[in-house]
Structure 1
Amino acid sequence: MNLSQEQKNAGALLKRALEAATSSGLLDDLAGLVSHPDVINGFCDGFDRLVAGEDLVNDVADQVEVEHWNSPTYGGDELEHQGVTFTAEVVDMRARSGQLLVNIGDNNGAVDDSLSAAFEVTTTPGSKAPVPSLMLYEGEEVVAKVIRQPNGHLIMPWNHTAHIVPTSLPNGERAWILLDR
C-alpha cells in the first residue's frame, strides 16, 4: 500500500496523539470506555511498518460482553451473578508476533480488576528450546510466567519482585496470593 504524503502526515499526527494519550494516563482513566491499549499500540506499530513499506498483517481483536460461566444467561443456575458483566477481549497477534492475548475486565465500575494473559512460544531461562508459555500481566508488567516443558511439567520461573502469601478462600480452601511489588 502506497500512502500519499498527506496520509503519512495525518497518520504521524494521529500516532503522536495516541501515544500522548497513552503516556499521559488518559487512556487508563478512560479504560471502561475505550478498547484495550494493545489495540492502540498495535495501530502505532502498524503505522510505522506501513510508512517503512513493510507488508502489514492485521491483528484481529474481538470483544464480547460475558457473565459468570454458570449464569442463567448460559443456562446455569447462579442467579446472583446474572447481569454482572465483564468484557472479554481476544487479540490475535499470531500472524505478526506469534502471540494470542486475552484480556477480561469488569464492566461494573472495578476497572482495576482486570486480568490479561498472553500465550506464546518462548524458551526456558538458560535453554534454547522453544516451549509453549502463558504470561500473566499486571498492567504491562509480566507478573507470572508458566512454561510447559517437553516432559509435561509446568514450570513457573520466579519473579524476584513478586511475593506469594498464603490465604484462605471463602469456602475454606487454602490458596496463594501473588503480589507484584
Structure 2
Amino acid sequence: MYLSKNKFFLILFIFLWIPFFCMSQIHYQTITLEELVRSSPYIFLVRAASPSFSLTKIKIHSKLLKELGIREKLQKKVPDFERRISHFEILEILKGESEERTISVLPANFLNSLELHVLYYGTGLSVSPIYLSYHSSEEVNEEHQDFIIFLQRSSRFKMYEWNTAGSSESINRKKDILELISAKQ
C-alpha cells in the first residue's frame, strides 16, 4: 500500500497529538468580585507572615484513600502529594471571625486536587476539572504588601483554604469590598 506524502504527514500528525488529547487540563471559570465576596465566609486584610509559605508532602496511604472515598484499587504506587501552604498575619477581619492572628492557607480546591492526584497516578484516570477563579483588579505582591484574601475553612484540615484560584485583591478595593459585604447583610 502506498501513502501519498500528504496522507503520511496527516497520519503522523494525528499519532503525535493523540497523547496530548488524552491529558487532563484544568479549566477556569472566572467569577466577579461580588460573587467572590458572597461566596467567601472569611475575608481578611493580611500581610505575609515569616516564613510566608511552607511546603508539605502528604503520604498516600489506605486510611487517606478511605477518607477521600476512593474505592478503586490502585494499580501503581502514588507519589507524595506536595503543596505550598501560605502563611499570613491577619491585620483586620472584614468578614467572618477568627481568634487566630497568624493563619495557614491551603491552595484552592485542595481536596479535589489531592483526589485527582491519587486517581491519576494510582489508576491512570485523567480528569479535566473546572475550577472557579478570580482575577484581581491590580497585581498583588503577596511578599511585600498588605492585601485582602478570600477564604473558606478546609473540610478536612484545620486550616483555611483559598476560596477560588486567585482569590486575593488589592487593599485599594477595600471600600468596594466592605460595601458588598454590608449590602449582603
Interval containing the TM-score (normalised by the shorter chain): under 0.3
Whose relative contact order is higher, 1 or 2, with alpha carbons under 8 Å and at least 6 apart? 2
Higher helix fraction: Structure 1 or Structure 2? 2
| TM-score (norm: length of structure 1) | 0.25
Q: TM-score, normalised by structure 2?
A: 0.25
Higher strand proportion, which one?
1
